[in-house]
Structure 1
């Protein structure tokens, strides 16, 4: 079976549904979970931010272990696809538990929040690392991979919309007087939908790219091999700073609409749903732009432009919410191209690593990238909580002080801009353009390596 075969539209859509399922959790963690913990669950912002950071540090252990396990898996369905079926139900259960509020003491609620959040991150790791590794097993053709990732990030907002734009309206519709229970039931419904998406991903995909050199499971050896890949190290910085920017700004949306624009659930949903749609169009544009121009340069300008737009947003008048909404749509449109380009480059770095080291460690490579991404999510969430606490944001208060409002504005504008700027700088050091990758893939298909 050709490893550079043209993928069918059915397979691209089926593969993309797996990420849509993952983003029910990922996007809700970015946009809703902080608000849920501070204004509904009742955690102080500083506790929430610290919990986000400390729990995510466990991924430093669990991610490489899961990556190595996935690489060592051998079934008639492949290395990665079986995990989609095995973990989808526990994954759905974790969605419900993390949005549940037990009748415990304040300290007991903190313990429960940490335990539920740990369980959700473990289930996300167990299913998302094999899923992301699967993309590199479908094709090794750089252009076909960019097309696959463009489809993926065009369809991903379907799941993201469930975890962000739809959750509060559905919760209020189901339980008008009890938003906490409404959110829990809404996530149960979305968890079932996520299970069906993972099953569809399993049924419609085929693993074509297999390791050229098989070896026994050895996590430390694979970690050492991974760090020999200098392009992966550059992408790690790029992934980290970009996700910090995305999470800070995404997590600030609810606070910004509530405390700065002084609008309610309907406008929050408009910001989130409209942002998702704008992001989807940005993902669609990623393929033609990344094919016509160098995708490294496109990524540089995407992040530099978002840094500039964030600065502009700081000075926007807030008495007319349509103006910040339009700016938000534009930022999300530009940001939408980042995802497809990001994962296309991650796959390229994986192929480059095999060419350089003579060992294909797709699961470990993806696990390491996902850990860096989740570390960015954790640091972004921590900064969100710490800045809210530093500006004396009061959990659940109807009115916030002018100081707290100013902190929310900074979180929505200038602080993400700083990290977008760092992302643009980082990608300037990445060198795997289309010509370089065609040479790498050509060598791999002919059994040649960097030192052979």
Structure 2
């Protein structure tokens, strides 16, 4: 009797365990483990967005027009691989699931190719262009093979839309940590580790990033579990998947929106270092550093690292690098604060509304930069902080909305194709990143930019200002306007989640019978 009572007590399930597996809450360990995959990927992705054009033109000394073609062609070709990767991932079947194994399989290749892409072998100009193209092309391929399954994994860890919002907050906090590392620490570390030689410094920093990334991907693999499993009898032809997508209105809207958002981020991110180096005056930035006691900050950092770690970074002729890094630091911190507001706002008002409102506000903040003078360093800081907070609220929502689109497709068609939906969105991301990076590199040439020149023509500084403000701001506004036609509102989210949970429970019950 005692044994029976004990057995009964042990078999009592908590409310979470009584839910279908795909609606159970995710543990903090799983959320952190999943988010480490984004930390790993974004150590590379954020470097591409913020420094690829600068790395090619000012460090590896590739002509801007050639750098533009490398970024555009390599990126676009790599983007099309996403579509094939989506079909492959959806049809992968292992004891670990569909998507988790790809994170494990690609971890080491990702690290190795990332290091090669930011190395600077001593070739002639044509050799440098060929090397840049080959390594960048391989990087976008392995990035697709890794990040597409990783992104799709978020759609099958849980079927609960609230849990996805929570997961996205963890995930994009990790993204912001990576962004902070890249935008704030990469340049000073590259300058210091390379003893002033930026090429050597970049290679050393990327080696650290590559090793860190491999470790993080392996942790992601071991700490996550796929719960939303399609019916075993579902064997949808690829053409049927594509036909479903062509009729999926929210997917079409999110695809175009994703392209526009990443054109903006790549354009603005690529211009950030140019803006501080060539648009804002060096004298005003030196004065700003004196005002905030930058030497004291460097001394404090020396107690954390080593006194020599930031020696190069603290030199007066590197003031634009210092101010750019400080600005990025504050902007990234404000993004992390914004992310904290994302989930409660989305739960209350719906993802579509919050995304649209704050994307519009972010665009207005960007456009405001156009009206600041080359000496208005403090005002630039304020604008960057405001942008960081406003855009930070939107960052988790893009990917949770794409997961919702996968649910919407299953709801409408009774077929789940998570990876191909995410692959199309990452296709959009790659197209946006490639177009934005190529656009900024190409327009630099059009505006008369002279690589690594001490003084730029007025046309070049004007172009850099526009590429940092008005151009990305207008693209953001265009993206936000698309959400007027996005049909998945808050009440639709609730209906989809309820209906799919009922279908999956019925399927599970039928399997038991």
For 1:62 and 1:295, the matched residues in 2 are separated by 29
For 2:411 and 2:337, the matched residues in 1 are separated by 34
Deviations 1:404-448 (A, max 9, x none): 111100011100111011011011111212221221222222228
Of residues 319, 323, 338, the one that matches 1:282 is 338
Contact 1:258 1:264 in 2 (8 A): yes
Matched, 1:97 2:153: no
Over 3 Å counting, the alpha-carbon distance change for 1:107 and 1:213 in structure 2 is same
Matched, 1:231 2:250: yes
Partner of 1:146: 165
Deviations 1:313-338 (A, max 9, x none): 11123313222022112112111122
For 2:245 and 2:106, the matched residues in 1 are separated by 26
Matched, 1:336 2:392: yes
Name the TM-score, length of structure 1 as normaliser: 0.96
Of residues 19, 25, 45, the one that matches 2:44 is 25
For 1:217 and 1:179, the matched residues in 2 are separated by 50
TM superposition shift of 1:347: 0.6
Matched, 1:50 2:37: no
TM superposition shift of 1:74: 1.4
Matched, 1:71 2:118: no
Q: Which moved more, 1:16-25 or 1:206-215?
A: 206-215
Contact 1:171 1:179 in 2 (8 A): yes
Q: Which moved more, 1:376-385 or 1:216-225?
A: 216-225
Of residues 164, 172, 184, the one that matches 1:165 is 184
Deviations 1:70-124 (A, max 9, x none): 1111122111111111111110111111111122111111111000100110111
Tell me the SS of whatever aligns to 1:239: helix
Deviations 1:363-396 (A, max 9, x none): 1111111001111111111210121111100112
Matched, 1:417 2:473: yes
For 2:421 and 2:52, the matched residues in 1 are separated by 28
For 2:41 and 2:393, the matched residues in 1 are separated by 19
Contact 1:81 1:130 in 2 (8 A): yes
TM superposition shift of 1:144: 1.2
For 1:117 and 1:297, the matched residues in 2 are separated by 37
Contact 2:79 2:430 in 1 (8 A): no
Tell me the SS of whatever aligns to 1:104: coil
Partner of 2:131: 112
For 2:98 and 2:78, the matched residues in 1 are separated by 21
Tell me the SS of whatever aligns to 1:330: helix
Contact 1:63 1:368 in 2 (8 A): yes
For 1:310 and 1:298, the matched residues in 2 are separated by 18
Partner of 1:198: 217
TM superposition shift of 1:217: 7.1
Contact 2:79 2:426 in 1 (8 A): no
For 2:64 and 2:482, the matched residues in 1 are separated by 31
Partner of 1:403: 459
Contact 1:317 1:323 in 2 (8 A): no
Which structure is larger by alpha-carbon Rg, 1 or 2?
2
Mark the runs of 5 or more structure 2 residues left unpaired by the alignment: 1-19, 283-318, 505-513
Of residues 263, 271, 277, the one that matches 2:327 is 271
For 1:159 and 1:306, the matched residues in 2 are separated by 21
Of residues 248, 262, 274, the one that matches 1:255 is 274
For 1:310 and 1:442, the matched residues in 2 are separated by 39
Contact 1:15 1:201 in 2 (8 A): yes
Deviations 1:202-229 (A, max 9, x none): 1211111111354447433322222221
Tell me the SS of whatever aligns to 1:136: coil
Tell me the SS of whatever aligns to 1:393: coil
Q: What is the Cα-based RMSD across aligned positions, in Å? A: 1.5
Matched, 1:434 2:490: yes
Contact 2:349 2:490 in 1 (8 A): no
Aligned pairs, number: 448
Deviations 1:231-279 (A, max 9, x none): 1001111111111111111111000010012343222221222222222
Deviations 1:283-336 (A, max 9, x none): 111111111222211111112112211221111233132220221121121111
Tell me the SS of whatever aligns to 1:439: helix
Partner of 1:394: 450
Mark the runs of 5 or more structure 1 residues left unpaired by the alignment: none
Over 3 Å counting, the alpha-carbon distance change for 1:165 and 1:218 in structure 2 is farther
Deviations 1:120-155 (A, max 9, x none): 101110110010011001111111111111121112
Matched, 1:129 2:141: no
Contact 1:154 1:281 in 2 (8 A): no
Contact 1:154 1:283 in 2 (8 A): yes
Deviations 1:38-89 (A, max 9, x none): 1111122222222211112213431111111111111221111111111111
Matched, 1:15 2:34: yes
Contact 1:162 1:190 in 2 (8 A): no
